[in-house]
Amino acid sequence: MTYNRRMHIIAIGWLYVVALMTLTERNLVAGALTLLFYGLLPVALLLWLFGGPGRRRHAARQAAQDSRTDSGDEDPAPPP
């Protein structure tokens, strides 16, 4: 199982816990704020921070692919 997939499983588990915490709040506003500040914002920050290396690898692969295509290193398509 890849690191990225494990991070998503952890995030889903944490959001489940926060959803249960939200259900125990006394009013709707407190529940919404609990969901936002304990669940959505921290999980978004966590996934953004730990997703950085993957985004950099993807950008490097894309740049290498673009430079290979621009320089003509790939085999030309056979004539029809």
Domain residue limits at 1:
1-51
With respect to residue 15, please indicate whether it lies within any of the assigned structural domains.
yes
Q: What pLDDT, on a 0 to 100 scale, did the predictor assign at position 23? A: 97
Q: What is the pLDDT of residues 3-54, one digit of tens each?
A: 678 889 999 999 999 999 999 999 999 999 999 999 999 999 998 888 888 8
Q: What is the pLDDT of residue 76?
A: 58
Is residue 67 assigned to a domain?
no
pLDDT at 78 over 70: no
The H or E element spanning position 7 is: helix 3-23
Q: How many domains does the chain have?
A: 1
Q: In the structure encoding, which two tokens stand for residue 50, read together?
A: 């730990």
User: Cα(63)–Cα(69) distance, rounded to whole angstroms?
Assistant: 10
